[in-house]
Copies of this chain bind each other. A is one copy, B any other.
């Protein structure tokens, strides 16, 4: 029996593929319940509910508005194409619904600021759908990248490298919303680089870089949507760091993250989606030197395993619901942490885009 005074009641706006994953995450999160789902057609929503085995208690609507009008819905998850985020997130906030929006949060920071102004003025929680930030592995590594420096830290970070690539099918490249300028106009920059930019900022404690520069190997489709992008982020002295990011729909699947400090380094190859659901690992190397004659190393990387009781997307829903319940039941203020993370990520996305428009010139932040 679900205690509705404790659980946060979710409505889902749209039947995107990613909504299947998040619907399951809502079911798995102990403090969340799925109450409603909508598509632009009721038949599609009904098919989606049936295919995903939603319980009969889930209300099925033929328009997004109906979810926003449903007084039994506390929060909405918005997996719509990015171009629709601002409209529906602002409307949801206006109806006092808390907003979990799929990434990229918006097409640009100006749009995101409209969303954030709406959630702030309506006192509702905002979070974007960057699931990996909620994995306990992420917190574990964050302790190793601690600022200021302490024991068991990898030291000041000099270099960060991350990738997010996938070999898209011909069907994806022809018709997926992520390659359509009117839907997800940011293409690989929004869908993939969002993660690499987010990871770079996260590793640097969300200090913004001073400049962002796209590299000349980008690819666009015939409609101008970015299919692959490489860029670098530069943080200046006294803790100079350079982060390279490489994101592509045209390459073999990779999710590499390497963080190299003065005293140690961390390597992951599945930082966005762990290889498996129930545990994840990362490689940690401290104090590596060469043995005498330089014929080997004194240490090999240590594989650190982190067990997670819930999948990262359920942990995301749980954290979001915890904040929503605090607002709803205890009069807490919305957390500014997650909106700020989204906004900084979006600012760097904008800067990469601007650098591309300027012919790969550096863009200051």
Contact = CB atoms under 8 A, between A and B. Distances in A.
Interface stretch (A41-49, A85-93, A283-291): A283-291
Contacts of A240: 217, 219
A135 interface: no
A332 to B, nearest CB: 31
Nearest to A158: B251
A320 interface: no
A252 B248 contact: no
A230 B275 contact: no
Given A159-B248, A288-B253, A296-B276, A242 B217 contact: yes
Q: How large is the interface on A (under 10, 10 to 19, 20 to 34, 35 or more residues)?
A: 35 or more
A65 interface: no
B297 A270 contact: yes
B265 A260 contact: no
A294 interface: yes
Contact of A290 (B263, B264, B273, B287): B273
B275 A265 contact: no
Interface in A249-278: 250-254, 256, 258, 260-265, 267, 269-270, 273-277
Interface stretch (A56-64, A76-84, A160-168, A340-348): A160-168
Given A167-B262, A260-B251, A24 B293 contact: yes
A137 to B, nearest CB: 14
A234 B256 CA distance: 21
A289 B253 contact: yes
B294 A273 contact: yes
A260 B267 contact: no
Contacts of A242: 215, 217, 230, 246
A276 B283 CA distance: 18
Contacts of A293: 20-21, 24
Interface in A130-178: 154-155, 158-159, 161, 163, 165, 167
Nearest to A286: B252
A228 interface: yes
B252 A234 contact: no
A311 interface: yes
B254 A265 contact: yes
Interface in A206-221: 211, 215-217, 219
B311 A297 contact: no
Most buried by B among A20, A159, A258, A296: A159
Interface in A1-44: 18, 20-21, 24
A24 B292 CA distance: 12
Interface of A: 18, 20-21, 24, 154-155, 158-159, 161, 163, 165, 167, 211, 215-217, 219, 228, 230, 232, 234, 240-242, 244, 246, 248, 250-254, 256, 258, 260-265, 267, 269-270, 273-277, 283, 285, 287-290, 293-297, 300-301, 311, 313, 362
7 contacts: A159-B230, A167-B263, A217-B240, A217-B242, A251-B262, A254-B265, A256-B258
Given A215-B232, A250-B262, 13 more contacts: A24-B293, A159-B165, A217-B241, A219-B240, A230-B242, A246-B260, A252-B261, A252-B265, A253-B297, A256-B258, A273-B295, A273-B297, A295-B313
